[in-house]
A and B are shown apart, each in its own frame.
Chain A
Amino acid sequence: MNISYLFLIPLIPLAVFLVLGIFNQKIKPAVSGWIGVAGLAASTILSFYAAFQYFFVTGKLNGSFQSFTEKMVWMNFTDTLHIDLGILIDPISIMMLIVVSTISLMVHIYSLGYMKGDPGYTKFFAFLSLFTFSMYGLVLATNLFQIYIFWELVGVSSFLLIGFYYTRNSAVAAAKKAFIVTRFADFGFLIGILIIGFYTGTWDFETLNNPEGAAIVNWASTSFMGLSVLTWALILIFMGGAGKSAMLPLHIWLPDAMEGPTPVSALIHAATMVVAGVYLVARLFPMYYFVEEGFVLNIVAYVGAFSSLFAAIIAITQTDIKRILAFSTMSQIGYMMMSLGVSGFDGLEGVGYMASMFHLFTHAMFKALLFLGAGSVIHAVHSNYLKDMGGLRKHMPVTNITFLIAALAIAGVPPLAGFWSKDEILVAAFENNQFLYSIGILVAGLTAFYMFRLYFGIFWGKETTYAHKPKESPRSMTIPLIILAIFSVMVGFIPFSEYVTADKLGFVAHLNYPLAATAVLIGLIGIIFAWIFYKKENDLAERFAHAFGFFYKWASNKFYFDELYLFITRKLIFKRISAPIAYFDKKFVDGTMEGIGNKTLVIANKIKGIQSGKVQDYAFGFISGVVVLAIVFIYLWTN
């Protein structure tokens, strides 16, 4: 299958970014918005066409989906070890293309209305295009190093977009925090890449992931401290993915990243960038499964499960609607990681892999919808906090209905999309690790509870009187909401398992009725609790919170992780380790250099005395030179 036209998919947003960036002041805002949308629309059409071609026409060969690559060598180290740039087409990359294109297009259309009047309008669309280009490059990467390059680019775009309101100190601090935390995680990622490059001799995904290839077959060849070197590399790579996907304990940047504009939160921190970590583990899944017999997958599963539980507990206590949604994202990504962690490889055992990718797909739809809806509400009410909202169902009907659909989807109510994907995850967990299944079920209930706490808090609850009456958002903002709502309903019915699996052969998935019923029941219990607590205004919630005492206080302060990290970095690392090193650097290293400079100056000052301007000194030099030369040539230098 000819895949050369797929190069256009990342290159069009890159061109848009360059045009909008260079001609920033010369383009009128309205025009730049439509340029961005047009570029994205073109990429989206190409993505859908490619998906259609791949999944339905030419992708399958002998019943299994094959991968197509087209690449060029960028940097050559040895015969096998080289950094390539190119595109790799296989089921998960095509799926991610669709996710990124759809969400990005919706966010672009939404931003036409949301960012109207902002002085940095053109800049915003330029950055959005830059991000989309980076995400496409990440998704289409053929090579571990290429993923790393685009990984960093995505981090940079995120930094630029979080700090978009750069006049606010909190936004600047949040952008820095996001970049530094993910950079710290990427340090582990880089070391993992280098270890893999050194011990297997290649960075190419197809070679690494080949179950009969040298990388996987010889995984036990070198070991370090009891585990194979490749295991350590995979753990470090997972550390990079955990940082980008805001897993415990590298999650601290995600709530603060809500300082960016809401379309940014929808695009980056809900649907696309934060799932890059999950995508990375999925991309290297054969290595994760076979090396050390899936040891690292255990770590992945537990980290994912505990992150989701942690985030769900905190989400219940938050009062800023975007932060509730941020923790909800962390929780759902924890689900995806957990599902990857408990997955097998062949056929039906690979249901965890399939479920994780399916949940990624559906989650993108309804989480983006939730964020865009929240943005619509914030746009109308001019405040992020629950206490300033209530009873908005009368004023904003479209937002109300779409938000409700998304909330039902995330709670796992059939026949919406979330039910199907969440159910598959719970099936995978149940079959492999009962403990993790119990955590998963608990989190499902908590998810439903806090999501409907949010829904009722905004649209029902107390009847707030507003300073100026909130009205429904303009059509540029409500159209994406409606489209995403339709997707949230429809995508659940895609027979995902026939297209995206670990071993690239499809299988037919059946519904496990007892488990499905349990999940739906837990979800409904959560919704009912939220109804009781929040639909009408009462103080039941506060009494309940008081009953929990200090646990509630801890949860609402996000379990003091930020304070802990600040303590470790400031008091321990800066004072004890960095300060002495800085002192040594300043005193000795700088001192030596300055000393050399000073000595040169001193010697030069002494030497310049030779040019004293006194004739007699010159004469003296002359005479002594003559005498010395006479001695040398007459007596000492005998041929």
Chain B
Amino acid sequence: MIPGISITEILTLTSILFFIGIYGFITRTNLISMLISVEIIMNSTVINFVIINKYLYPELLQGVVYSIFIIAVAAAETALAVAIIINLYKQISSVDVKETETLKY
């Protein structure tokens, strides 16, 4: 636990980051920008895991270990997403999300 800071303040911070990430994901038109927003969201959840572990259950390790796993998976997923974006760019010469609307009615 961090002396002087209550848990609610940190949780407030992570919630704000989370919603900023969501706003970015829904609003942006570029695929890579959406990727960046997803990164913001995932990072905020990792903080949540760690802080709750530290403040409420300090003798357990689940939060930290799990956050390591989240970071690993997020990195893998970002790498794959970039690969897909590059492949898509080769097909349609654009990274605008408006070009990816073929699966519609």
Contacts and interface: CB of A to CB of B under 8 A. Distances in A.
Contacts of A608: 105
A623 B22 contact: yes
Interface string B11-42: 00000000000100111000000100000000
A619 B26 contact: yes
A613 interface: yes
B27 to A, nearest CB: 8
Contacts of B22: 619, 623
A612 B104 contact: yes
Interface in B53-105: 97-98, 100-105
A607 to B, nearest CB: 10
A611 B102 CA distance: 11
Contacts of A616: 25-27, 34, 97
A168 interface: no
Interface centre among A608, A611, A615 (most CB of B within 10 A): A615
Interface in A578-637: 608-609, 611-616, 619-620, 623
A348 to B, nearest CB: 90
Given A616-B26, A619-B26, A623-B26, A611 B97 contact: no
Contacts of A615: 34, 97, 100
Nearest to B103: A613
The SS class assigned to the B binding surface is helix
A619 B41 CA distance: 13
Nearest to A607: B105
A609 B98 CA distance: 15
Contact of A613 (B25, B26, B27, B104): B104
A613 B97 contact: no
Given A614-B97, A615-B97, A620 B104 contact: no
A612 B104 CA distance: 5
A631 to B, nearest CB: 15
Interface centre among B34, B102, B105 (most CB of A within 10 A): B105
Contacts of B103: 613
The SS class assigned to the A binding surface is helix
A612 B98 CA distance: 11
Contacts of B104: 611-614
A612 B101 CA distance: 7
A626 to B, nearest CB: 10
Nearest to A618: B26
Contacts of A612: 101, 104-105
Contacts of B101: 612-614
Contacts of B34: 615-616
B33 to A, nearest CB: 11
A619 B21 CA distance: 12
B64 to A, nearest CB: 27
A609 B104 CA distance: 9
Given A614-B97, A615-B97, A615-B100, A620 B105 contact: no
A127 B27 CA distance: 80
Contacts of A611: 104-105
A614 B101 CA distance: 6
Interface centre among A611, A614, A620 (most CB of B within 10 A): A614
A619 B102 contact: no
Contacts of B102: 613
A496 to B, nearest CB: 84
Contacts of B98: 614
A263 B18 CA distance: 98
Nearest to B101: A613
B7 to A, nearest CB: 19
A612 B25 CA distance: 17
A614 B98 CA distance: 7
A611 B97 CA distance: 15
Nearest to B29: A616
A159 to B, nearest CB: 54
A608 B34 CA distance: 25
A609 B101 CA distance: 12
Nearest to B22: A623
A619 B105 contact: no
A218 B38 CA distance: 94
A628 to B, nearest CB: 15
Interface in A510-562: none
Contacts of A620: 26
Contacts of B26: 616, 619-620, 623
Nearest to B104: A613
Nearest to A626: B22
A88 to B, nearest CB: 69
Contacts of B25: 616, 619
A589 to B, nearest CB: 33
Interface centre among A612, A616, A623 (most CB of B within 10 A): A616
Interface centre among B22, B27, B97, B102 (most CB of A within 10 A): B22
Contacts of B97: 614-616
A613 B105 CA distance: 8
A623 B18 CA distance: 12
A620 B27 CA distance: 9
A110 B25 CA distance: 95
Contacts of A609: 105
Interface centre among B22, B25, B26 (most CB of A within 10 A): B26
Contacts of A619: 22, 25-26
Nearest to A614: B101
B89 to A, nearest CB: 17
A630 to B, nearest CB: 12
Contacts of A614: 97-98, 101, 104
A623 B102 CA distance: 23
A629 to B, nearest CB: 15
A616 B26 CA distance: 5
A614 B26 CA distance: 10
A623 B23 CA distance: 10
A7 B1 CA distance: 107
B26 to A, nearest CB: 5
Closest 9 A/B residue pairs (Cβ): A613-B104, A613-B101, A608-B105, A611-B105, A613-B103, A616-B26, A620-B26, A612-B104, A619-B26
30 contacts: A608-B105, A609-B105, A611-B104, A611-B105, A612-B101, A612-B104, A612-B105, A613-B100, A613-B101, A613-B102, A613-B103, A613-B105, A614-B97, A614-B98, A614-B101, A614-B104, A615-B34, A615-B97, A615-B100, A616-B25, A616-B26, A616-B27, A616-B34, A616-B97, A619-B22, A619-B25, A619-B26, A620-B26, A623-B22, A623-B26
Given A611-B105, A614-B101, 12 more contacts: A608-B105, A613-B100, A613-B102, A613-B105, A614-B98, A615-B34, A616-B25, A616-B26, A616-B27, A619-B22, A620-B26, A623-B26
